[in-house]
Amino acid sequence: MDRRGSRGEGPSEPPTPCAHCPLLCPDSHMDVKGYKWVRWRVWLCRVLFLLTGGLLLLLFYWRPRLGVVTRCSPCPLALADVLLIRDSGDRQHVVDVFTEEMEEGRWEMFGEFDDNEFIDTDQLYQKDQKIMLRYYLFDGLRYVWLDRKGSFVRVSILNEDWTFNDLHGFQKGLSPQEQIFRRRVYGSNLIDVPIKSYIQLLFEEVLNPFYIFQLGSIILWMSDNYYYYASCIIVISFISIGVSLYEIRKQSVTLHKMARLVVDVKIRKSSGEEQTVSSVDLVPGDCVLIPAEGLLLPCDAALLSGECLVNESMLTGESVPVLKTPLPAGDHRYNSETERRNTVFCGTQVIQGKGGPEGSPVEAVVTSTGFFTAKGSLVSSILYPQDSDFRFNRDASKFLLFLGSIACIGTIYSILLLFSFKASLKEIIVRSLDIVTIVVPPALPAAITTATIYAQRRLKKLGVFCISPPRINISGKISVFCFDKTGTLTEDGLDVWGVMERRHAGFSELVPDPSLLQPGLMLSALACSHTLTLLHGIPLGDPLELKMVESTGWTMDEPLGSRQILDSEFGGHSVLAVMKPPTQQDTTAVAIVRRFPFSSALQRMSVVTVTSGGQSVVAFLKGSPEMVASLCKEETVPAQFTTTLSHFSKDGLRVLALGYKPIDVGMDLNTIQRGEVEKDMHFLGLLMMKNLVKKESPEVINMLKLASLRTIMITGDNILTAVNVAKTCGMIGSDERVIFVKASPHTAQSRPSLRFSLEDEGASAQDTVEVITHGLYQSGCNNHLAINGKSFAALCDYFPEYLPKVLMRTTVFARMTPDQKTQLVTELRKLKYRVGMCGDGANDCGALRAADVGISLSEAEASVASPFTSKIQNISCVPLLIREGRCSLVTSFSLFRYVAVYSLIQFCSVLILYTMKTNLADLQFLFFDLFLVTSLAIVMGKGGPSNDLHATRPPASLWSLPVLGSLLIHTSLIILGQMGAILFTRAQDWYVPLNGTKPGENNWPNIEDTSLFAVSGFQYIFMAVVVTKAHPHKKPLYYNGWFLGLLVLCFGVMTWLVMYPLPFLRWLLSLYNVEDICFKVVLVAFSALNFFTCLLMELLVDNGLLNSLRLLRGRRPSKKPYKQLDSQLLRDPSWPPLNQSLFPSHSTIIELR
C-alpha cells in the first residue's frame, strides 16, 4: 500500500474556501522570531521582581515581548525555546516550543503516507542520534518544525498531498504502532476550549490595567481620607469583577460545550479487527465505521463506501439534510472543500448511514482532527477573532490619550498651585495624582459596551442571534450589502413550470406537467437525476429535486435488510435507490447504482441507472444549461438552444438542462470515473422551474436604496435569470439598462479580451456558456453591470486594472462558485467598503465569514456559519440589524462623550476648589459618581432604534472636528457656568471668605463648595440630555422611559438638595446652610441657562456650525478608494467603453504564463 501521497493533478474544479479557506483560518504569522533563555538574565530578572515588589513581573505580563527580549537572546528558530509571533493584526504573542523524543526508526512511517520531502518534518533536531519532535501550539493549532523549509508549519501539511487513491488505501486500517506515533505528532482529536478556574480568572481580571488603575486610585483616596467613596468603589469593583468572572466563565462553558465533542467510534485496525475507541484518540488515516443509525461526527472524514444523510446546520446554517456519497478512486489530490459531497465534517450529525455491498458498514477515513477540522476552524475564528480595524475602536484609545494629556496639564497646575500654598509633599503628591483619577475615567471603555449589550438583547428578542457583539457597531457603518439569490431573495421552494424535449427539428412544445410526458429517456432522467434519500419512508434532500421528482409521479424505494435479492433483480449491481413509475405508465422501474453529487464549482450532477435485469445501463446528467450543453455532443444540442434559454431566463425562470449517455453493460460501474460518465452526452431537453421572489425582498431592497446603501446579488444561477430577479426585487430599476460584458481568458488560439455590450445587443450575440454581465451601481447612473464567474476569474487574472471599476458598477454576479463569492467580498473590502453579506446555505459560508457583517438565514440558533444568525427567513432582518447597529453606534458615541464630559466637569470643579484651598467632600464625590452619572449612563442605551433607515450613516470617528469641537465648546461653557457661580457667590453681602490657613477638609462645609456642588450637579444631569443623540438613527428621548424617568428623579433630588435640604442630608453631604432663598433660585436658574446654552450650541454643531473651519482648509478628497473611484467614474461618461474589445497589457500575459 503506497501512502506517500503522489502528486496527481488536482480536480478540474477549483477549491472552495470555507472552513479551511486562508481567509477564515489564516496562518496568523506575519513574523516569527526565535529566542533562547539566558540563565543569568533570568536570575537577574527574578531578583528585580523582588526588588520592585512584583511591578517588573506585572510589566512583563502586560508586555510579553519585553519579557522575552529582557530574559532571552535571539537565536535560529531550530534552536529556539521561545517564539515571538507577530500576527496579521500586528499583535504580538509569546509561545513556548515543546520538544518530544520520538522512538528511533518510527519517523520512517511518514515516508509511508507522505512525500519523501517531508520525512525531515520530524527530524527537526538530532542530538546524540535521538530524533526530537519540535512543535508549538498557537490559536489551538499545532505547528511542527520542517527542517527543509527552515520554519514551523502546520502539522496538517503532512497529509495535504493525499490523493483519492491514498485515502482508499487507508480502508484497511492503521496498525497500533502507526496510531500511537501519529497521535504524538498530530495531538489529540479535541477542540478544547479551556474553562479557566475562578481563581485563574480572578488573577487575570485583577491584573487588567483597568483594575490596577482602580487599585491605585483606591489607595490614593484612602490616603486622602475619602473612606466612604473608596469603600463604595471597592464594593462596586468586587461586584463588577464577580459579574465579569461569571459572564466570562459562562461564555467559556457555553463555547466549551458547543466545541467539545467526545464520542465512542468504531474503527478498523490493520489486522482487520474492529475496535471501539474514544474519538479523542482518532488520528488522520484511521478508518471509521459509521453505523446505520448515524453518528455525531467528531472529525473530518472522506467517505469511502456507502452513503450518509447528514445534517450540517451546525456549520453552514443549511437546515436541509445533505446526501454524502463515496469518494471515487483516482490520482487527484484530495481537498475537503472541493469534495464536500464526499466529505463528512466534524460537528455534523449523520442522520442515516447506508452501507456498501453485502451489508458492509459505511466506511470513512479521517482526514483532519481537532482545530484542523471545519468545526475547529470556525471555533478558532470565534476564540481568536481577527481585528475588525473599526475606526471607533482605534479612536477610543486616542481619545483616552487626549484625556490623559489634559490630566497632565491639570496635574502640573495643581502642583504649582499647591507649591505656592506651601503644602506638604504628601499633599502635593496626593492632590496631583487625584487629578489623574478624575480626568481619565477607568470606567470609560466599559461604559460604551452597554449600548452593544442592549442592542444584542433586542436583536435576540427579534430572532437575530449574535456570536460576535463587536460587529453590531460595525453593522451601523455598512455601505454595501450582498445577497444570495435562491432562498434569500427568492423562495426556497420552486414549482415546475414546464419541460421541453429535444426534437430533430429543435425543441418540442412546452409541456407544463412532466407527468404528461410519454415514457422515455426524458421522463426517466427527471425521475432519476437526484440525490434524494428516504428517512422513515419520507424523501429528503434538495427542495428543487423533491419538486422535480414529485412532478413526474414516480416513487422512490430503497433497499432494506438484505440487499442481495434487490441487487440480483438489476443485474447484480449495488443498488442505491429504485425509482418506480406510476402503474398507468407503460415502463419499468429503474435502479440508481452510482451518484456523482451536485457541485457548485462543476455546476452539475449525474447518476448511473440500470433497468430490470441489468439489460441496459444509462447515465443521466443534470445541471446548468451552459454546462450540460458543453458536455453534450454538438450535433445533439438544438440550434435554438441559446435563444430558448435566453427567453426563459429573461422571464426569471430557473432553467436546468438534462442529458443522457448509454454505457456498456459490461463496464464495472463501481469503479467508473465521473469524468468518464460526464462526457459525450446526448442532449435531452430543458426543465423550467419558477422561483418566486419573496414578498419582503422588493420592500427591503427599496428601503436600502433609499438609505443610500448599495445592494449586490451574488448567485450561482444563470445570468439572465439573475438579472430578471434583480429587476423584480428592485435592484435594477425599470428605466435602467444592463450592460453585458464578456471577458475571455488566454487560450492557445486567442488573447484575453474584455468587451462591454448592452443587454439587448449582448443577449443574442453572445455564447451563453461564456456570457458575462456587468451592472452599474446606483450612484445616479442609469446603467448596471453584471458578471458571471468565468468572466470574473478572467477579469481578476488578466484585467486587474479594470477590476476596481467593474466592482464599483456591478449589481449582479452570476454563476459564482463559493470561493469566488468569498473572493468578491474580499475585493470589495479592499476598496474600503463596509461589506454585509446575507445568505442561507453552505455555498455562502466563506463569504459570510469574510464580510464585515454576515447574516445566515437559518433555524439553527447555535450555528457558527456567520457572526449573525437570523430565524427570520427573509431579508427583513438586514435593515433590522443595520438599524440596531446604527442605534448602538450612536449610543456608544453618546456614552463616550457623556463619560468624558462628566470627567471634565469634575476636573474643572476640583481645580477651581483647589485654587480656593478646598475640595469636594467624600460623599459629594459618591453622590455624583454613583447616583447621578452611573445610573444615567446605564439607562442611556436603552432607547431603541428608529423605525426608518436614514440616508446618512452615523459617524465612526471620535477624533473628528464635530466631536472635539463640541467637547471644547461644552467644556468652555461648563467652566463659565462654574466660575459664574463662584463669582456670584462672592458677590453676596453675607459671603465670608475661606480661612486661608486651613487645608481642604477642615474648611467643610463652605459656601464655595456648596455653590459648585449645586451647579455641577445640574451639569451632570443636563449634559446627559445634551450629548444624547436620537434623530435620525434612534427613537426620540421620550421613548426611553427609564432614562426619562431617571432624569426627572435626578433633577428633582438635585433641586431638593439645593433648595430645601434636610439637616441630616446637609450634614451628610457637608453642605453649607444657605438661608437666602433668592440665592438658591438664582443658582438653579443659572444652571438652567447653562443647560439651554449647551443645548443650543450642540444643535448648532449638529447643523454645521464648525463647517466653516473646514472651508478654511479647503475640501479634502475622501481617503476611501471606493469614493475616489466613484467620483472618477462620474466624471468619465465614456466608461464603460461599449462594443470595444479591450486587451490586457503585455506584461500581464507574460506574468500569468
Catalytic residue positions, numbered: 484
Measured CA distances, 469 to 27, 73, 463, 866, 1080 (Å): 24, 40, 15, 12, 47
Question: How far, in Å, CA of 713 to CA of 814, rounded?
Answer: 8
DSSP three-state, residue 293: coil
DSSP three-state, residue 52: coil
Show contacts of 1118-1125: CB within 8 Å, 24+ apart. 1119/832, 1120/831, 1120/832, 1121/804, 1121/830, 1121/831, 1121/832, 1122/479, 1122/808, 1122/831, 1122/832, 1122/833, 1125/804, 1125/805, 1125/808, 1125/831
Measured CA distances, 1069 to 438, 1047, 1050, 1137 (Å): 19, 21, 16, 77
Q: What angle do CA 406, 412, 414 make, to 5 degrees?
A: 100
CB 473 within 8 Å of CB 1033: no
Question: How far, in Å, CA of 105 to CA of 878, rounded?
Answer: 59
CB 811 within 8 Å of CB 713: yes
Q: Which of 695, 674, 551 is nearest to 619 (CA)?
A: 674
Left (φ > 0), alpha (ψ -120 to 50) or beta: where does 39 sit?
alpha
Contacts of 1025 (CB under 8 A, 6+ apart): 1037, 1047, 1091, 1095
CB 1051 within 8 Å of CB 1058: no
Which grid cell sits at 263? 464520542
- Diameter over CA atoms, the chain: 119
Going by the DSSP 8-state scheme, the letter that residue 681 receives in this structure is B
Question: How far, in Å, CA of 227 to CA of 923, rounded?
Answer: 9
Contacts of 811 (CB under 8 A, 6+ apart): 711, 712, 713, 726, 731, 732, 775, 776, 777, 778, 784, 785, 786
Helical pair 1041-1059 and 1077-1102, crossing angle rounded to 10 deg: 150
| β pairing state of 480-483 and 92-96 | unpaired
Question: How far, in Å, CA of 617 to CA of 572, rounded?
Answer: 12
Which grid cell sits at 597? 453529487
Give the type of residue at 589. A
Helix or strand holding residue 276 (H, E)? strand 274-278
Going by the DSSP 8-state scheme, the letter that residue 932 receives in this structure is I
Q: Which of 295, 282, 308 is nearest to 365 (CA)?
A: 282
Measured CA distances, 1115 to 762, 1107, 1109, 1122 (Å): 42, 10, 11, 18
Q: Which residues pair with 127 in a beta bridge?
A: 130
Reply yes or no: is the peptide bond before residue 1144 cis, omega within 30 of 0: no
Q: How far is CA 1012 from the centre of its chain?
A: 49
Question: How far, in Å, CA of 1010 to CA of 1022, rounded?
Answer: 19
Question: How far, in Å, CA of 450 to CA of 457, rounded?
Answer: 11
Show contacts of 748-753: CB within 8 Å, 24+ apart. 751/1143, 751/1144, 751/1149, 752/794, 752/797, 752/798, 752/799, 752/1143, 752/1144, 752/1149, 753/1141, 753/1142, 753/1143
Which grid cell sits at 555? 416513487
